[in-house]
Amino acid sequence: MNPPQSANINRTGLVEAGRRIEEESFRIIDAEMGDHSFTPEQWQVVRRVIHTTGDFDYANGMRFHPRAVAAGIEALKRGAEIITDTRMIQVGLSPWRLQWFGNSVVTPATHADSQEWAEKWGTTRSVAAFRHYAPRFNGAILAIGNAPTALLEVSRLIRDAGVRPALVVGVPVGFVQAAESKEMLWQMTEQPAITILGRKGGSSVAVAILHALLERAKTSNE
């Protein structure tokens, strides 16, 4: 059945009622957060993460390379590929936002041969798949929300193989190597990156960060 005309879906992909709820949520977050040290561009990313998680503690752990937001926006606007560690990120990204600049999304670990690569190299599927896809990293946006081993491999490839992603969104959640992988990324001062120090993170957080960057890219293009 077709939706009623009164739904009034706007250009953002949200109906007006949904947009009003989102805007009110952001107003509440702004009011409750109060003063902070983030730039206006960084705050839009942090605020959307808080909106997604309901957790103000993310404001304490989020870290931004000085060029992270600008680099991410530039890459999205030129249609850069988004490479993810999980299908959760891939399916979580709004198709209508991705259509704004024609950004495609790929998850290397879903490749039919990823198991074979992992057995050949004696490592996890995430590591093996990211290693195999390394030639596609230059100029791409990498989004890692679940696999610390993938983030460790990305950091190694940046350091040792000279790959140059436009942006790394490294926010894997967990108790084994998650904090260590994010700390390693944060220490790579030449690589534009967004991360969350400690154990928190996850695929939904990575999606929130990418949505914030896509929204900012859309606004700056108008």
Assess if residue 31 is contained within a domain.
Answer: no
Assess if residue 23 is contained within a domain.
Answer: no
Assess if residue 21 is contained within a domain.
Answer: no
Phi, psi torsion values for 133, nearest 5 degrees: -90, 0
User: The domain containing residue 116 runs over which residues?
Assistant: 36-220
Distance CA 222, CA 220 (A): 6
Number of Cβ atoms within 10 Å of the Cβ of 53: 16
pLDDT at position 1: 39
Question: What does the pLDDT average to over 163-169?
Answer: 98
Query: Known catalytic residues?
Result: 51
Burial label for 70, CB within 10 Å (0-12, 13-18, 19+), is: middle
Assess if residue 161 is contained within a domain.
Answer: yes
> Where residue 16 falls among pLDDT bands split at 50, 70, 90?
confident
Assess if residue 51 is contained within a domain.
Answer: yes
Assess if residue 25 is contained within a domain.
Answer: no
Residue 119, domain CATH: 3.40.50.10230
- 3-state SS, residue 63: strand
pLDDT at position 39: 96
Assess if residue 29 is contained within a domain.
Answer: no
Q: What digits encode the pLDDT tens for the residues 93-150?
A: 999 999 999 999 999 999 988 888 989 888 888 899 999 999 999 999 999 999 999 9
Q: Is residue 132 a contact partner of residue 158, using CB atoms and an 8 Å limit? A: no
In this prediction the pTM is 0.90
Q: How many domains are contained in the chain?
A: 1
Using only the alpha carbons of the chain, give its radius of gyration: 18
